[in-house]
Amino acid sequence: MMGFGFSIWVLLLLNLACCSRGFTPVDQFYVNCGSSSDAVVGNITFVADKSATKYLSTPQEILADSNLNSITRADDSPLFRTARIFNGPSKYTFPIRQGGRHWIRLHFYPFSYQNYDMKSASFSVFSQKTTLLSDFTPKDAIVREYSVNVEKGDLVITFSPSSNSIAYVNAIEVASVPDDLIADAAQLYSSSGQFTGLAAQSLQTVARLNMGGPFVSLVNDTLGRNWESDSSYLKQPNLATSKSNIPAVQYPNGGATVDTAPPTVYGTCTKMNSDSDPRSNFNVTWDIPVDPGFQYWVRMHFCDIVSVSPTDSVFDVYIDTYVVYRDLELSTKLYGKLATAFFADFVTPVLDRPNVSVSIGPSPRSPYPDAFLNGLEVMKIRNSKDSLAGTSVLPSFPKSKKKLGIIVGVSVGVPVALILVGILFFMHRRRKQQQLKLSKTWVPIWVNGGASHTMGSKYSTGTTVSVGSNQSYRIPFVAVQDATNNFDESWVIGVGGFGKVYKGELHDGTKVAVKRGNPRSQQGLAEFRTEIEMLSQFRHRHLVSLIGYCDEKNEMILVYEYMENGTVKSHLYGSDLPSLGWKERLEICIGAAKGLHYLHTGDAKPVIHRDVKSANILLDENLMAKVADFGLSKTGPDIDQTHVSTAVKGSFGYLDPEYFRRQQLTEKSDVYSFGVVLFEVLCARPVIDPSLPREKVNLAEWVMKCQKKGQLDQIIDANLVGKIKPDSLRKFGETAEKCLADYGVDRPSMGDVLWNLEYALQLQEAVIQNDPEENSTNAIGQLSPQVGEFNHVETTTSVAQFETSSVDDLSGVSMSRVFSQLVKSEGR
């Protein structure tokens, strides 16, 4: 027995040596749960349980051994022999070095161990805010595979027993997947348009089939996947036959690679059994059982190993009753090459039946009736309740000190992080840097507009088109019309310098904000492009995300995630919205500061937003702040060199006087504008209010006077009077004041601002007793202690004197156009 097993592994290893893997995962964790020894499967070593206890938090150590020495079934892996049993909520926390897509594979095999009845165990499993399994009872050996996107530090897998039950797992795999394996967009075949946002989705593998070939194990797959034979899924096996020519398989330049599927998959196919009858007219159909109520991602793999000449095969392809390809002629997509790998992705509507059916059938255009398919993958897409299974509820864990770092790393933003603020303060700097690094390592696939990584519609529609950067963001005009009820005026939620903003809903139910540009002007077009470029490069929880854009028919349309609670400005004044509390306001400022800090310290080149104002900071349904409107942003070398711009841009009342004077742009201009926002948040009044007495018209000017006289507390929002702790107010005031320093060099960096705001929040929240450092400003900041006398430049006067009919227009709208007029008129 041992000898036999040994020689199999040697064979497998030899096999491996001859075909090199295309991809090396940065993160890889393979755990042989419950076992005292390592187990090798393929060339993957699953480590003994004791090597993985550092990742595990569980109420009790229960290591179960089936004591099965012999493997009873051909496909039984050594991993099934032992298991970890959990008699309460338990979790594995794996530190992730590189954000992005990861496999999670969970191996289950129920056996009996002591008093634990694994066969009737029922439990739920969660990861990445997704319910992976809900009240699940494995009946036999089973491996569940998921593909999740890890944006932040740790990947946590939580096991939660149903009431009066236990949970268990026999083996766990977590490994990086190339981010471009699954394109962000795929064709929705039941309606026009695309399903976008796949890059961030959690998916579960439902079926992965090798048409016309045998089971392909992880040994023959560069990404450790298994491919099942398709024969048991064929509706009418007698109508089908198979063909194999693995050595012939080629990969195109751009498109499918060996990571998409190995030659062993592309080199075999199931085809119409039509060779003996030129009048054959039938479909070959596969039925894949699925759970109704979900959408599914379907990838078809084609490779023409059937035809003799490139124009031999023309056929139709269906999913359910929809035609997804009429007259598919692979050779036209592959420059006339035979035996070349090609794939196409589709997304189903929410299914109301328990099958996804895929059919292929002859086209009347074909010289001879034939049709073939080489591979098929079906993955379940997480539903709107963040579940891939039922509706189980993530258990809560008692907070233990030991795991503190981990909890915080994973769930910044949830209440637990707030509770810990006090303790965190001292760990602060390091954590901040870590977060920054992590959020930057997650590079969305469509970022790399260059040739090698361009995914675009080439992949999702299956047509070979020349793909520019950002292609997969493109949304058809009809889909935008659909989403906005044909630009229904009653759906308008805002009007800005750029055009109107509509509320909308995409086909898949995603709520969106649709910004439709005024007819093309040079100015607008430049801003449109900048915005797409910026937002497709930068992804951060405190930056509004771009869902797509449309430039058909001279349109300039941008589609963003919908921000339920509108602008920060609308919560401060000029509306009936309830007044925000001090803590809420601080958290909003902290969120916005994080977004700006991320931009300033961005990947390759820092980015200057150039239009920071309360109308450009938006709030989601949880009042989380996100920075928006990147139309004026600038990257790059400008920042290092002395940048002289011909047109000063930005919004009145927020403009950095130094930028205005010297036309030299630095990140510190954003810091100035953000300082104005801070005072706006504190005082809840417009930044320019011509209806007020002269000395109060300009908020920045006015608050600086009051701050100098130590009278800041007299001009704060009436709703906040008596609700801000004096220390918190002092810290906040000092921070904002420093942002408004006359010279950029005297202003703090966005990182320092962020740090000080978090401290202001801590001073508001925490009861710190007898902290000797609390009253010492020096202990907190390396901010330059003396802010130069604030000599407001003459230009501010002209701003204040500028005649305006509507105050709101002045401070709420991007004023670049008006501003250039002003500059001109002054010059006259």
Residue placing its CB nearer to ligand NAG in the complex, 355 or 510: 355
Site membership for ligand NAG, residue 51 (CB under 6 A): no
Cβ contact 538:602 at 8 Å:
yes
Beta strands in 1-109 (DSSP E): 28-32, 39-41, 44-48, 56-57, 63-65, 82-86, 90-95, 100-108
Site membership for ligand NAG, residue 273 (CB under 6 A): no
Site membership for ligand NAG, residue 282 (CB under 6 A): yes
DSSP, res 412: T
The answer to whether residue 611 is catalytic is yes
How many residues make contact with ligand NAG (CB under 6 A)? 26
Q: How far apart are the first and last CA of the chain?
A: 97
The number of beta carbons lying within 10 Å of the beta carbon of residue 182 is: 23
Name residue 126's beta-bridge partners: 131, 158
Residue with tokens 């085809």: 271
Where do runs of H (alpha helix) occur along 601-709?
A: 657-662, 667-683, 699-708
Residue placing its CB nearer to ligand NAG in the complex, 28 or 601: 28
Catalytic residue among 27, 259, 345, 611: 611
Residue placing its CB nearer to ligand NAG in the complex, 69 or 321: 321
The single-letter code of the amino acid at 550 is: C
DSSP, res 789: P
Minimum CB separation of residue 361 from ligand NAG in Å reads 4
Residue placing its CB nearer to ligand NAG in the complex, 282 or 397: 282
Minimum CB separation of residue 459 from ligand NAG in Å reads 24
The number of beta carbons lying within 10 Å of the beta carbon of residue 469 is: 18
Sheet holding 268-272, edge to edge: 240-244, 268-272, 372-373
Beta strands in 82-140 (DSSP E): 82-86, 90-95, 100-108, 112-113, 116-117, 123-127, 130-136
Residue placing its CB nearer to ligand NAG in the complex, 354 or 468: 354
* Residue window 15-44: x/- pattern of binding to ligand NAG, with contact defined by CB under 6 A: xx-xxxx--x---x--------------xx
Residue placing its CB nearer to ligand NAG in the complex, 247 or 519: 247
Subset of residues 353 to 392 that bind ligand NAG, contact rule: CB under 6 A: 353-355, 359, 361
Site membership for ligand NAG, residue 318 (CB under 6 A): yes
Site membership for ligand NAG, residue 791 (CB under 6 A): no
Minimum CB separation of residue 90 from ligand NAG in Å reads 25
Site membership for ligand NAG, residue 281 (CB under 6 A): yes
Site membership for ligand NAG, residue 47 (CB under 6 A): no
Minimum CB separation of residue 375 from ligand NAG in Å reads 13
Q: Token digits for 569?
A: 């400005």
Q: Token digits for 159?
A: 């096991």
Count Cβ atoms within 10 A of the Cβ of residue 217 and give its class: 0-12 exposed, 13-18 middle, 19 or more buried: middle
Minimum CB separation of residue 333 from ligand NAG in Å reads 22
Known binding residue 515? Answer is yes
The single-letter code of the amino acid at 262 is: P
Subset of residues 321 to 350 that bind ligand NAG, contact rule: CB under 6 A: 321
Minimum CB separation of residue 92 from ligand NAG in Å reads 18
Site membership for ligand NAG, residue 287 (CB under 6 A): yes
Minimum CB separation of residue 233 from ligand NAG in Å reads 7
Beta strand pairing call for 342-347 and 186-188? parallel
Nearest to 820 by CA among 592, 621, 655: 655
d(CA 209, CA 41): 21
Site membership for ligand NAG, residue 466 (CB under 6 A): no
Return the residue of 283, 454, 470, 814 that touches ligand NAG, per CB under 6 A: 283
Cβ contact 284:360 at 8 Å:
yes
Nearest to 84 by CA among 33, 25, 11: 33
* Residue window 207-246: x/- pattern of binding to ligand NAG, with contact defined by CB under 6 A: -------x-x---x--------------x-----------
- Active-site residues, by number, are 611
Query: Which parts of this chain interact with ligand NAG (CB under 6 A)?
Result: 15-16, 18-21, 24, 28, 43-44, 214, 216, 220, 235, 264, 281-283, 287, 318, 321, 353-355, 359, 361
**Residue positions in the annotated binding site for ATP?**
515
